Structure 1
Amino acid sequence: MELYNITGFLIHRTDVKMTNYFTKQLKPFEMTPEQWSIISVLDGERATTQKELAEAIDRDQSTVVRMIHSLEKKGFVKRIVNDADKRSHNLFLSDKGITLKSKLLPIVIEAHNHVTRYLSEGEIEQLKAILEKLYASVRDD
């Protein structure tokens, strides 16, 4: 089978280019795409557990703990012991994190618009549906 007919290769090649582009957009804010994924999920008002966060961004909990620690050191995330389960922490965006999220959101939207500029709204929806099907086919493997 020819390399350019292998779906995994095509997705990986695209992911690398898109991640590099997104990394460049976030660099002035000393933020990585992975850190943005956490910032985008967290809120200043609603508590999120580390487990919920790991599931939301599809990362293992130990990786998420390291990422949270880094964001906490930068002052973007607050970690508060869960009253119901002392082994668990509730995560919130700090005021600084909320401000950063509002600054980054237009940049993220512009990056999305840039990488999808040759696609119609219908094609974007089709792409999402196809990628969800591919993800579902390998999710538990």
Structure 2
Amino acid sequence: MNTLPLYVDDCFAIRQAARHISKLYERHLSEVDMTPTQFSILSTLARAPGLTMLEMAEAMVMDRTTLIRTLKPLERNGLVGESSELGNKRRLRLNITAAGRAKLDEAIGHWRTAQASFETSFGEREAARLRLELFRLTSDNSQR
């Protein structure tokens, strides 16, 4: 049997770290009945309203099916709305609603607490460096 030691498995290390960090943010954001992914969607739409499903899926690095499943509770709770493009009823644009902005405002303090907790335990400069490297990884389209 051919096995690799875990310390050389990049995929395992990244997924394990993602789950570990996600738990921290989940714990804090659950105080306002929100998941980290829902927080990211609301925050993305607050910065860039009117994204199409495809643009949002690309921004979140998610497939459309997963995005639609994640959006359903946000739409059901009136936090996100859809509007069709003029002349193209099949192309929907996503927007954060007033209720969504209020929910995001409520959640941001909990997100900041989670962020501060991570940066305290990992190191503020190390966290900033890690973030830059992770964003560099996901913006590199040559690996897709």
Counterpart in 2 of 1:36? 39
Deviation, 1:82, is 1.4
Q: Which has the higher helix share?
A: 2
Structure 2 counterpart of 1:28, which letter? Answer: E
Deviation, 1:44, is 8.8
**Among 121, 126, 130, the residue aligned to 1:123:** 126
TM-score normalised to the size of structure 2?
0.81
Q: Distance in 1 between matches of 2:47 and 2:135?
A: 29
Structure 1 counterpart of 2:108, which letter? Answer: L
Taking a change above 3 Å as real, the CA distance of residues 11 and 73 of structure 1, as seen in their structure-2 partners, is: same
Taking a change above 3 Å as real, the CA distance of residues 92 and 121 of structure 1, as seen in their structure-2 partners, is: same
Counterpart in 2 of 1:112? 115
SS of 2:82's partner is: strand
Q: Percent identity?
A: 25
**Among 64, 69, 78, the residue aligned to 1:61:** 64
1:88 aligns with 2:82: no
SS of 1:92's partner is: strand
Taking a change above 3 Å as real, the CA distance of residues 18 and 47 of structure 1, as seen in their structure-2 partners, is: same
Structure 2 runs not aligned, ≥5 long? none
| Count, aligned residues | 140
1:20 aligns with 2:23: yes
Taking a change above 3 Å as real, the CA distance of residues 23 and 118 of structure 1, as seen in their structure-2 partners, is: closer
Q: Distance in 2 between matches of 1:40 and 1:139?
A: 26
TM-score normalised to the size of structure 1?
0.83
Structure having greater relative contact order (Cα 8 Å, sep ≥ 6): 2
Counterpart in 1 of 2:80? 77
Structure 1 runs not aligned, ≥5 long? none
Alpha carbon RMSD of aligned pairs, Å? 2.4
Cα distance per residue 1:18-73 (max 9 Å; x no partner): 11121111112221122112111113983221111111111111221222222110
Q: Distance in 2 between matches of 1:39 and 1:76?
A: 8
Taking a change above 3 Å as real, the CA distance of residues 100 and 139 of structure 1, as seen in their structure-2 partners, is: farther
Taking a change above 3 Å as real, the CA distance of residues 96 and 105 of structure 1, as seen in their structure-2 partners, is: same
